[in-house]
Structure 1
């Protein structure tokens, strides 16, 4: 069973989160790591989509949470037993797997039902009539499989058994049968002749050495002849096990689970069920395997690598239940807990992609043009084309190198990228706040800071009432002390700060906001990380 490593950035991902996830997953695979895939925790914004389209890269798949799921259990695979397969084949599969139950599949691999050892035992007692193969619409090939036989001449007239089953002990020389009937006999010439003279459609000769058969078949015999090594009485005993196993399915309303179901929910159902084993299905409804109650104790946590964040409140839902392998970030170190030592790389640069670009260099791996272009896009976005105070000489050096590999002009491409992300027309207040929203835990309280880069102040201020409503809703829903919206305009050269919440005095002290006011323009302020969060932290500590 494949075990993936998921690489992702923060919730409400920006260009750095998406592009760094893709770039680092590519690097890990280049270094020989298997099953590493980039994922995202939210919607892709316009700016990021522009970069993906420009460099022709598919967006990462979206994950809603990182909680343990059924697919994280060490479930066991199952034998593919289909509705037309014989009861004996199902029995043998259960014996091989040492499991008391086996799922039965339709031809499209979807679940038809389950069969237990008890079901087979009960049915075996009842399978005594010589009409049972006909009544249960048994494929003729099932008989060959069950008896481990071989047709050595002729053909049975139909794919399914259409007649009754006899033995030479139940007929005499004058018995006449139909071409659909079947006769089991020993290997003596006399018994074989009696069976053939009945006119049956198939004669099964038992006790034959299949390697060196010493059986005389009369000339001009037209019916089908099958040889089997099974002794006569064993063949009589087990031939009824040729019936399709679907006849034993008594309950099609089976307790089953899908691979993406969360363990916490599955656990309760399993513990309350009288059954011990349960089929698991994929999204197409096809059977992937089986789990038992003991698997609840054997769950492998999802393995993850965090880029562009390290705060639990900004990460995937259920991150506390995952196994964090690495963190690569350019923000403050916060509160993501790990159970084992991990590789942590945090540097005071303007972008996580700058760090990842350095790792490419350190590992002597040349990023492809597309990957270089995405890392360049992340640096341009996070540093606002090098105008943000968070921008360092390392960001500029890395951007120049990546631009050469990606074969783009930094300034031209950078302006086009930023322009693609600054349009806010058609967006709702909720979408605006979620473009780049992070929640910070500072001194024991939660603060949300959303940021949007745009030159269209008018459109946003026309929506101020809706924005206020959504921010106040966030405060209630997420138990926030403050909700802050940061509207950054490169042309005007600063950011407008809008704030609501119970701790407005913190914002008033941090940014000299007049009491009773909820917004202020801050010249030369571009960075949430370096110019907003530190000021709020300092203001709170002065209380």
Structure 2
């Protein structure tokens, strides 16, 4: 049973027609045998090769820039995230449910905007009061109501909330000297006290231990632009939860280490070694969060599986080829200081073109060859052997060229 991991079949730098055709041909050969191979190139195509590809209906092979895997090729952690408008309370709940130390914060389109960690959230519970006040100043009534499991009785577009919170346990006749202007006030089921607080300039009322608000209190709230929420909790829990109602965008980290999925995984690993975060967000080119990468993803990473055709010298191959999982070589050039970490299948023949070898492998394995591929390989053989007139041309080149011409229904002299 073959692995589903992609195998890259590539020719040499500054590719010629034989390099490109043999990569396309051998990748097709491998796919016919159930192996997920893809043809590659290591540079721009020359005019002759472009003409051959167009003539026989082939696209240019994939441009391979590095033998090492990119982040998009490894199995990342799931891209679990929170919306930038989510409350801090919702973030805490999700962290507990998914047992995650951090989340990417995204907008409504899934674009990564920042990161939120447990350490960031700890600032709310353990930080100074001024920080919590500043956050509540920029928190919507809707978010407050949701966090305290409450119901909005009245909201107002002209709110005047300064972020400070007061819990009032006094009756109406004892509020005269209490500074309440623009504060969020948590108050019990005392309609007279509620009305007096509104008239004294309270920024918002959160009422506990009640199910309804008296009509005259509601009218006063409308007159003084004072929103009213009925909380689903008692005074203390309402106060505790309230500080976790601000949106996560207010405390998320925006100066974060992030990677794009096309970055080389090994190089991303080196960047990770400079910091101590547990996970790092990975995005696509548009900035959409697609997953998280951690050190353990990189520690035992195996690089791309590669087959070399039409060359065997590492100096002529893809960048970092020495770090690849090199599987095979099919070539007709001299062997020069070739060394690998593990055994490889090596087929080298004294012929004028690697495409000659590829063509013969189809017949040896009784794999039918499409006429278009036969035409492409024929063009490469004729190019590399100078129309079968080069001193390097062998009887095998001539024989395979004639077979390919028959399969492609081409006349060698006319086609050449």
TM-score relative to the length of structure 1: 0.58
- CA distance in 1: counterparts of 2:94 and 2:148, whole angstroms: 16
Aligned to 2:116: 115
Number of residue pairs the alignment of both structures matches: 377
Name which of 318, 321, 334 aligns with 2:320.
318
Aligned to 2:300: 298
- CA distance in 2: counterparts of 1:184 and 1:372, whole angstroms: 82
Shift of the 77–117 alpha-carbon distance from structure 1 to 2, 3 Å rule, reads same
- CA distance in 2: counterparts of 1:155 and 1:349, whole angstroms: 87
- CA shift, 1:92, in A, is 4.2
- CA shift, 1:93, in A, is 4.5
Shift of the 324–240 alpha-carbon distance from structure 1 to 2, 3 Å rule, reads same
- CA shift, 1:302, in A, is 1.5
Aligned to 2:212: 193
Secondary structure of the equivalent of 2:82?
coil
What are the residue-to-residue correspondences of 1:222-261 with 2, within 5 Å? 237-238=240-241, 240-249=243-252, 251-261=253-263
Tell whether the 8 Å contact from 2:83 to 2:107 is kept in structure 1 after alignment.
Answer: yes
Tell whether the 8 Å contact from 1:72 to 1:300 is kept in structure 2 after alignment.
Answer: no
- CA distance in 1: counterparts of 2:259 and 2:39, whole angstroms: 26
- CA shift, 1:277, in A, is 3.4
- CA distance in 2: counterparts of 1:68 and 1:79, whole angstroms: 23
Q: Which runs of 5+ in 2 are unaligned?
A: 166-183, 222-226
- CA shift, 1:252, in A, is 2.2
Aligned to 1:497: none
- CA distance in 1: counterparts of 2:410 and 2:94, whole angstroms: 60
- CA shift, 1:388, in A, is 2.2
Q: C-alpha deviations, 1:50-71, integer Å up to 9, x for none?
A: 1112123221232333245555
Shift of the 111–386 alpha-carbon distance from structure 1 to 2, 3 Å rule, reads same
Does residue 52 of the first structure (1) align with residue 53 of the second (2)? yes
Secondary structure of the equivalent of 1:104?
strand
Tell whether the 8 Å contact from 2:189 to 2:207 is kept in structure 1 after alignment.
Answer: no
- CA distance in 2: counterparts of 1:155 and 1:351, whole angstroms: 83
Tell whether the 8 Å contact from 2:124 to 2:243 is kept in structure 1 after alignment.
Answer: no
Secondary structure of the equivalent of 2:83?
coil
Aligned to 2:374: 372
Tell whether the 8 Å contact from 1:38 to 1:61 is kept in structure 2 after alignment.
Answer: yes
Secondary structure of the equivalent of 2:340?
coil
Aligned to 1:32: 34
Q: C-alpha deviations, 1:253-304, integer Å up to 9, x for none?
A: 2223334444665455433335443333333343333333444423221211
Secondary structure of the equivalent of 2:211?
helix
Shift of the 143–157 alpha-carbon distance from structure 1 to 2, 3 Å rule, reads closer
- Which fold has the larger relative contact order, with Cα–Cα distance below 8 Å and residues 6 or more apart in sequence? 2
Tell whether the 8 Å contact from 2:65 to 2:319 is kept in structure 1 after alignment.
Answer: yes
Tell whether the 8 Å contact from 2:81 to 2:103 is kept in structure 1 after alignment.
Answer: no
Shift of the 248–15 alpha-carbon distance from structure 1 to 2, 3 Å rule, reads same
- CA shift, 1:6, in A, is 1.6
- CA distance in 2: counterparts of 1:128 and 1:183, whole angstroms: 21
* Root-mean-square deviation over aligned CA pairs: 4.1
- CA distance in 1: counterparts of 2:187 and 2:97, whole angstroms: 35
Tell whether the 8 Å contact from 2:148 to 2:231 is kept in structure 1 after alignment.
Answer: no
Secondary structure of the equivalent of 1:313?
helix
- CA distance in 1: counterparts of 2:267 and 2:323, whole angstroms: 15
- CA shift, 1:117, in A, is 0.6
Shift of the 116–405 alpha-carbon distance from structure 1 to 2, 3 Å rule, reads same
- CA distance in 2: counterparts of 1:330 and 1:399, whole angstroms: 16
- CA distance in 2: counterparts of 1:389 and 1:138, whole angstroms: 86
Secondary structure of the equivalent of 2:212?
helix
Q: C-alpha deviations, 1:81-140, integer Å up to 9, x for none?
A: 232233244334444554433322234444322211111121245599899667234766
Tell whether the 8 Å contact from 1:72 to 1:301 is kept in structure 2 after alignment.
Answer: no
